[in-house]
Structure 1
C-alpha cells in the first residue's frame, strides 16, 4: 500500500479509497457471512463497514494494516447486529401441503448458503497470504451453523483467532479487551462450538481450525460429486427408496427458512412422500452448482405438470453434506432470491 494512496483517500479521493479497500471486500463479506449466517445480512454489513471506514479514515493511525482495521470495524458491526433485537429473521414459509411432524425445529432459520464461485474469487484476489487460505471446514454449513449459536463475542474471537489467524494481542485491540480476556473467551468458544456441531463432523474442531495441506479442495471431491449425481437422479425421479439408500443412518433433512427438520430414514421418507404429493405432478429439476465447498444444486420446479419442454422456475438451492461415503445431511434452502448470488437463471 503506497502512503500516497492513503493520503489521497484522506483528501477525499473516492478512487483512492476504493484502491485501499476493494482488495479486502470479498474476504470481509465472507467474515460477515460466518458471523451472521446470511448472505443478505453480510452484504449489508460490508456496506456499513466501508461507509464507516470512509467516514473514519482520518482516525486511522496506521498502527495496524488497513486489512486489520477493516476487520475491526466489520467484526464490531456484526456484533452489534447480532445483539440487535430488531435483526430481521425470515418469516416461516407456509408449505403448499401438510408436512408431517418434524423431528425437531431448527434454531437457525436465517442460514443461507455461500456460492463456491464467490469463494474462488476471494482466493484469487486476496492480497495477503494470511487471507488466502479457505479451509473447507470453516465454510461448511455445519461450521457456520454452529457459529450462529455462539454468543457474539465468542463467535468474533473464534473467527478472528482460529480462522483468520490474528494474534491474541491484535484481537484484544480489535475488541477493546485484554489478551487474557481473548484467551478465556477463545477457550469457551471452542468448547461451545464442539458441543453444537453434529457428531459426524465434530472431529474437525478439536484444537485450532487449520486448512488442509494443499488448499481447500480435498482428494475426495470427485467421489462426492458422483454421490451427488446419483442423488440427483433419484431425487428428480421421486425415487424415495433410491434417495434413502444414499443416506447415512443418522441423516438429517433441513429446509431453511422453514424450521422443520427430519432425522433418519423414516422421518425423511414421510416428508419426501408428502412433498411429492404436494407438487401435484410438477417435476423438480436440479442444476449442478457449489456451495460452502459442498456439492449443491439449483432447484427448479416446473410451472405446471407436463412434458419435458414445460418451463421451470428457480425454487432455491439444495446442498448435500457428504459423510463417510454417503450423505449425512440434505439442506434445501427455500429461497428464490438465491438465484442472483449463485448466478443462476430465474427461469429455464
Structure 2
C-alpha cells in the first residue's frame, strides 16, 4: 500500500498511533523546513511538534490528492507563519556594521545553528526529487541569516518555490494566495536575498558536506587555537574576514579586528587558561566546540561553538554561538 493509502486508512480508522508513526517518517525533513522558516533549531523542533498535533486535529483536510509529505509541509509552513505573526514571537532584524562591513548573521539575534547529524537524517538519497531538502547552499548560515531578512510570507514563498521545488500553483494553494501574488513575492524575495548574501556566494560550489580542504583548514584552526598560536590563526584568516556572535549584534570586521578581540583571551596575564577544541559540523559547514580550563580548575568548561565559512583555503567568516547550543550537537558542558 502506498503511503497515501496508509495515511488515509489510519485516518478512517481513527488510529492516532499509526497516523503518528506515519507522520514521523517526515519529522527530520520538517525540522529542516521549519528551521529555514524560523532560523533557530530549537524553535524548529517545537514547531514540528505543533505541526504533528495540527495534522491529527485537521486530519479531515487530508483528501489524498496531495502526498502526505506535501500536506505536512503545508501545515508546517502555516504553523511557522502563525508563530511569526504573534507578538510574543516578533523578530526584528538589527543593523550591525563595522568598518563599512555588514553581516546578515550579526543582524539576526535569534539565529542558531543546526547539527549536521540532523541534516543527515533529513537528507534523502542523492538524486531523489527532494534531495535539495538538506542541500548545503540552502542551509549554510549565510543563507539562513539572509532569508531571515525577508517578511515571513515572502520567506515561505521563497522556501517552497526555490528550496522545496513546489510549483507556483501549489505554493499559492498552500499559502492561500493568487498565483500572480506568489510570483511577485518570489521576485521580491530573490532581489532582497541578493543584497544580504556574501558577494562571492554565486561562485560557491554546491556540496553536501565540507570539502577535504575545508576540513584541513578547520584542523589547523583547531590546533592553533589550542596552542594559543595567534600567528598561525592570523595566517588562516582572510584580510577581510568577519566574525559575528548572535544573539549579540556585534561584528568584528577584518583580520586585525578579530585578532585584537582574541589576543587578551589567549595571551598575556588575562588569558583565560588552557584550551581544548572538538571538531563537529553545523549547517554543512566546518565547526568546532571550544572548552577552556581556567587556572586552578580540573575540568574544561564549554565556551562556544564556532562555525566557519572558508573560501579558497582561508577563513572568510566565523559565526560564534554560546555554549547553550552544544547539547543539540551531543556535546557535554564539561570535558
TM-score of the superposition, structure 1-length normalised?
Answer: 0.85
- Name the CA distance, whole Å, in 2 between partners of 1:290 and 1:320: 10
Alignment equivalent of 1:54, drawn from 42, 46, 56:
56
How many aligned residue pairs are there?
Answer: 323
Q: Deviations for 1:145-192, whole angstroms, at most 9, x for unmatched residues?
A: 101111111111111111110111100100101222111111111111
Query: Alignment RMSD, CA only?
Result: 2.5
Aligned partner of 1:300 among 279, 282, 291:
291
Q: Map of 1:244-255 to 2, 5 A cutoff?
A: 244-255=234-245
Which residue matches 1:130? 129
Q: Which runs of 5+ in 2 are unaligned?
A: 92-96
Write the deviation string for residues 71-122 of structure 1: whole angstroms up to 9, x where unpaired. Answer: 1111111122222231177xxxxxxxxxxx9657832011111111111111
In structure 2, relative to structure 1, the CA distance for the partners of 1:155 and 1:4 (3 Å cut) is: closer
Match of 1:98? none
- After superposition, residues 225-264 of structure 1 pair within 5 angstroms as 225-264=215-254
1:194–1:202 Cα contact (<8 Å) kept: no
Q: Aligned ranges for residues 29-48 of structure 1 at < 5 Å?
A: 29-48=31-50
Aligned mates of 2:4, 2:217 — CA distance in 1: 49
Q: Which residue of 2 aligns with 1:271?
A: 261
1:1-348 equivalences under 5 Å are: 1=3, 3-87=5-89, 106-124=106-124, 129-133=128-132, 134-203=134-203, 212=206, 216-217=208-209, 221-276=211-266, 280-302=271-293, 304-305=294-295, 310-334=298-322, 336-348=323-335
Q: What SS is found at the alignment partner of 1:52?
A: helix
1:129 partner SS: coil
Q: Which whole-Å CA distance do the structure 2 matches of 1:259 and 1:252 have between them?
A: 13
For residues 306-337 of structure 1, the C-alpha deviation after alignment (integer angstroms, 9 at most, x for no partner) is: 59xx3112233111100122110111111x23
| Alignment partners' CA distance in 2, 1:23 and 1:279 | 51
Q: Does the 8 Å contact 1:224/1:295 carry over to 2?
A: yes
Distance verdict in 2 for CA 1:330–1:12, change over 3 Å: same
Task: Verify the 8 A CA contact 1:39 1:114 in the aligned structure 2.
Answer: yes
C-alpha contact (below 8 Å) 1:27/1:131 kept by paired residues:
no
Cα distance in 2 for residues equivalent to 1:116 and 1:60: 32
Deviations 1:118-139 (A, max 9, x none): 111112589x932233321111
Does the 8 A contact of 2:238 with 2:315 survive in 1?
yes
Structure 1: 5+ residue stretches without partners: 90-100, 205-210
Q: Is the 8 A contact 1:142 1:201 kept in 2?
A: no
Question: How far off is 1:203 after superposition?
Answer: 4.6
Q: CA deviation at 1:245?
A: 1.2
Does the Cα contact within 8 Å between 1:161 and 1:167 map onto a contact in 2?
A: yes
Rounded Cα–Cα distance in structure 2 between residues aligned with 1:280 and 1:322: 27
Whole-angstrom CA distance in 2 between matches of 1:147 and 1:37: 9
Offset of 1:344 from its aligned partner? 1.3
In 2 relative to 1, CA 330–266 (structure 1 residues): closer, same or farther, beyond 3 Å? Answer: same
